[in-house]
């Protein structure tokens, strides 16, 4: 059964717990709400119907300290409200951790500093981008635990449920980076649920096409190495292997010494196929290799 045909706004309404507008009166565009934060702020989302059956998800503000990622997501929303229908149907969550973003906004002099205000939800909290389930396994809302057995924060639980309901074939997770030489558009190598590479070329090519377009528009794409090199891997991630080989992943991230940066990122979880749910519970195909 096809859950989401082109511009199927009625089906899309089910992906948001709260719908804030009448999609029939707004070209099928839906403003919705995934839920509320611990401090009572809404986690908002937008759905833009596309002209194809493909679906994409764009996430801003996974790190609340990275306000430019929120600004970019909000600009995209404004552009899609005005412009033609996109090819993909798109969901945008512009501000995933609004409580954390509010912390950053509240201390403007510290923006971009090593204080990282708003990156973590509280002292000792896990990095929000290291709270995903084990690669190859579905998010289980009945336990709400990540790969490391820690409780996934509620904003990320909203996001994971959204992904499992909407089933996007592409996810763009927007971040900011202090070191401009590392900024760029990167892809994560897709694998099956055992971690075996499915081939990087088409995603890598898309990332380069996006980076070239951004460069032409005046963006700094130094991390991609353009125009001399065509790099599409984040500098901390292992090299992409050929299709059919086992793909190493980065399970450490930033600030590894406190373990708050250890765990599975959206890049790793999102690019790994989910096993059948039955298999997911009884097998742990990747655990033996997790810390490689
Ligand atoms: Zn980030």
- Expressed in angstroms and rounded, the spacing between residue 177 Cα and the centre of ligand 1 is 7
Residue among 159, 117, 110, 108 nearest 270 (CA) = 159
> Does the structural domain 9-289 have CATH classification 3.40.630?
yes
- Expressed in angstroms and rounded, the spacing between residue 21 Cα and the centre of ligand 1 is 31
Q: Where are the domains of the chain?
A: 9-289
Q: What is the mean pLDDT of each run of 10 residues along the chain (292 residues)?
A: 56 81 86 96 96 96 97 97 94 98 94 89 92 96 95 98 94 96 96 96 97 94 92 94 96 66 94 75 42 34
- Reading the block at residue 25, the tokens are 């009166």
- Expressed in angstroms and rounded, the spacing between residue 60 Cα and the centre of ligand 1 is 9
Taking a C-beta distance cutoff of 8 angstroms, is the pair 135, 146 a contact? no
Query: So what's the pLDDT on residue 81?
Result: 94
Q: Is the dihedral of CA 264, 270, 273, 275 positive or negative?
A: positive
Burial profile 80-119: b = 16 or more Cβ within 10 angstroms, e = fewer? beeeebbebbbbbbbbbbbbbbebbeeeeeebeeeebbbb
- Expressed in angstroms and rounded, the spacing between residue 178 Cα and the centre of ligand 1 is 10
- Expressed in angstroms and rounded, the spacing between residue 200 Cα and the centre of ligand 1 is 23
pTM to 2 decimal places: 0.90
- Expressed in angstroms and rounded, the spacing between residue 113 Cα and the centre of ligand 1 is 14
- Expressed in angstroms and rounded, the spacing between residue 48 Cα and the centre of ligand 1 is 24
Query: So what's the pLDDT on residue 285?
Result: 45
Residues with CB under 5 A from ligand 1 (ion): 63, 66, 175
- Expressed in angstroms and rounded, the spacing between residue 23 Cα and the centre of ligand 1 is 32
Sheet containing 42-48: which strands, arranged edge to edge?
18-19, 30-36, 42-48, 89-93, 55-59, 170-173
- Expressed in angstroms and rounded, the spacing between residue 65 Cα and the centre of ligand 1 is 8
């Amino acid at each position: 059964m096809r859950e989401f045909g082109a511009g199927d706004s009625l089906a899309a309404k089910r992906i948001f717990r709260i719908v804030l507008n009448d999609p029939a009166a707004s070209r099928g565009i839906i403003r919705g709400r995934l839920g509320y934060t611990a401090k009572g702020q809404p986690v908002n989302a937008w759905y833009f119907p596309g002209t194809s059956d493909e679906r994409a998800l764009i996430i801003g503000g996974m790190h609340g300290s990275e306000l430019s990622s929120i600004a970019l997501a909000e600009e995209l929303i404004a552009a899609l409200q005005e412009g033609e229908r996109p090819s993909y149907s798109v969901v945008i969550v512009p501000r995933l951790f609004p409580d954390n973003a509010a912390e950053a906004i509240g201390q403007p002099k510290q923006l971009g500093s090593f204080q990282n205000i708003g990156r973590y939800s509280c002292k000792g909290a896990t990095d929000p981008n290291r709270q995903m389930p084990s690669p190859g396994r579905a998010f289980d809302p009945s336990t709400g635990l990540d790969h490391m057995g820690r409780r996934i924060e509620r904003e990320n639980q909203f996001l994971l449920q959204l992904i499992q309901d909407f089933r996007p074939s592409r996810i763009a997770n927007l971040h900011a980076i202090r070191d401009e030489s590392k900024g760029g558009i990167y892809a994560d190598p897709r694998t099956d649920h055992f971690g075996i590479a499915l081939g990087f070329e088409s995603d890598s090519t898309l990332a380069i096409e996006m980076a070239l377009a951004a460069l032409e528009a005046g963006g700094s794409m130094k991390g991609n190495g353009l125009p001399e090199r065509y790099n599409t891997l984040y500098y901390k991630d292992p090299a992409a292997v050929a299709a059919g080989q086992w793909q190493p992943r980065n399970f450490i991230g930033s600030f590894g010494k406190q373990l708050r940066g250890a765990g599975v990122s959206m890049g790793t979880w999102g690019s790994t196929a989910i096993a059948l749910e039955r298999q997911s519970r009884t097998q742990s195909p990747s655990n033996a290799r997790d810390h490689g």
